[in-house]
Amino acid sequence: MTDFDVVVVGAGVTGLTVANRLHAAGRSVLVLEARDRVGGRLLTEDVEGVRLEVGGQWVSPDQTALLALIDELQLEMYSRYRAGDSVYIGRDGVRRTFEGEKFPVSESTAAEVERLVKELDRLAALMDPLSPWEHPDAEELDRISFAAWLAEQTDDPEARDNVGLYVGPAMLTKPAHSFSALSAVLMAASAGGFSHLVDADFILDRRVVGGLQRVPLALASRLPEGTVRLDEAVTKIEWTDGGATVFTGQGSYHGRNVVLAVPPTLVSRVQYIPALPPVQAQMRQHISFGLVIKLHITYETPFWRELGLSGTAFSPYSLVHEAYDNTNEDVEGETRGTLVGFVSDVKADGLLSLTPEERRAKVLESLAAYYGEQALTPVHYYESPWMADEWTVGAFGTSFDIGSLTRYGRHLRSDVGPLAFASSDIAGLGFQHVDGAIRMGEAVAARILI
């Protein structure tokens, strides 16, 4: 058995941030990673000749911790292609093009959307995203589903569907009837306000040259050789107040502190001796991953640009509820065009029940409704496989079921003896985003260094 000051479980951005900060402060650190690579939910991969952002990719202006790290690592960024009109398919099934962030809906629906966004902005402004349970309306908002809250606010179904889209399919990737209004407000507060979620140009602003996985790769490369051990899934942790022994299939390692830098759902997969206190075990049974299929569709050319389209498309009523131009502007000589699209929650359930050929046909049909017949003939098609990946099992992140944020939220970041917990899923600012992973990693490292 080998002794370290700190053993970190998980080499995603959270774990690697913890390891970097502790190493810089002179502590001996070991990082154990189940996969054969670092980066967790960030994976930039060449798939049959096309470089794809299989996991997270966008950086928005509110992600100040990520922006600072990108700067520290001397990585460059570029803007998403966004010239031209966007497309919206409404409740009436009609396809309309539009400019800016406001969907082309009737005047009365637009006014309702604006009113709801204002109200959600107001509620978000009253929330510290690190402690949503302290919101003045916390109990009330956590007891009601976001769908029911929207129904209380307006009779306009298209306004409800549009506002629901920003948090349900697009962010928490769960149906709006399955999470609380408080969780919706948390999503907004963690991004600096609901208006930011509505503005695709804000929330999906820039990409990192070479791909976002360069962030964890660069963090790992700054650690001494041998610090990160790949293919070492942690299965058991024996702990006392003085330290913990971490077991993998290859061996055991002792740390005065152990940081579980994994999503809360995977914290529960490890065996603890003694068992974690009851509230810890209970709490994580009320947290689950959302489900979204990220689709990457590459064409001989970005044909939509010729049609005066930006590639941005939305519809709460379509299988692919949102899509964007995701062409690799940083790859020299790239003449192909790539669209990225998302199929979420119950629509993803339906899609996953089909054969791969049927899935592809349905997705292309949905894209053709936005961009025309040319969308039916891509040169490359790929579905990110996070929902079946045993070291994530879902996407984008985890969230509480109705009523549980107020019931358990305050225990999320509590240490248990020498064990600390961190991941973007339990962040305040940057919740479910890379920014939150960095913030959580830095907070845990700072606590250990006191």
- Rule CB under 6 A: which residues touch ligand FAD? 9-15, 32-35, 40-42, 55-58, 233-234, 261-263, 266, 270, 294, 384, 386, 391-392, 395-397, 423-424, 432-434, 437
User: What residue has token string 């140009």?
Assistant: 201
DSSP 132: G
Tokens for 362? 């349905």
DSSP codes, 14-61:
HHHHHHHHHHHTT--EEEE-SSSSS-TT--EEEETTEEEE-S--EE-T
Minimal CA–CA distance to 18: which of 30, 3, 34?
A: 30
Comparing CA positions, the residue from 314, 60, 104 lying closest to residue 195 is: 60
Phi, psi of 409 (to 5 degrees): -50, -40
Residue type, 177: H
Rank residues 104 and 132 by Cβ distance to ligand FAD and give the closer one. 132
> Coil, strand, or helix at residue 77?
strand
Contact between 23 and 228 under an 8 Å Cβ cutoff? The reply is no
Q: How far is the CB of 173 from ligand FAD (least distance, A)?
A: 9
Q: How far apart are CA 425 and CA 261, in angstroms?
A: 10
| Rounded CA separation 309/374 (Å) | 13
Q: Cβ 291 to ligand FAD, closest distance in Å?
A: 10
Residue entry with tokens 């990946």: 389
| CA pseudo-torsion sign 429, 431, 433, 438 | positive
In 241-351, beta strands by DSSP E: 243-248, 252-260, 271-273, 287-289, 292-299, 309-314, 322-325, 337-344
Q: In angstroms, what is the minimal distance from the CB of 221 to ligand FAD?
A: 16
Within 10 angstroms of residue 1's Cβ, the number of other Cβ atoms is: 9
Tokens 């991953």 found at: 289
Closest CB to ligand FAD among residues 113, 437: 437
> What are the helix (H) ranges across 199-323?
200-203, 214-221, 264-267, 278-284, 303-306
Shortest distance in whole angstroms from residue 137 CB to ligand FAD: 27
How near is the Cβ of 440 to ligand FAD at its closest, in Å?
A: 7
Q: Which residue from 412, 32, 18 is spatially nearest to 234, judged by alpha carbons?
A: 32
Q: Which is nearer to ligand FAD, 262 or 420 (CB)?
A: 262
Helix (H, G, I), strand (E, B) or coil at 381: strand
Helices (H), strands (E): how many in the chain? 17, 22
Residue 168: Cβ-neighbour burial (10 angstroms; 0-12, 13-18, 19+): buried
Using the minimum distance from each CB to ligand FAD, give the nearer residue, 58 or 239.
58
- Shortest distance, CB of residue 212 to ligand FAD, whole angstroms? 7
**Closest to ligand FAD by CB, 65 or 141:** 65
Distance CA 167, CA 174 (A): 9
Question: Which residue's CB is nearer to ligand FAD, number 65 or number 123?
Answer: 65
d(CA 282, CA 276): 10
Cβ proximity to ligand FAD, 132 vs 397, nearer residue: 397
CB atoms inside a 10 Å sphere around CB 332: 5
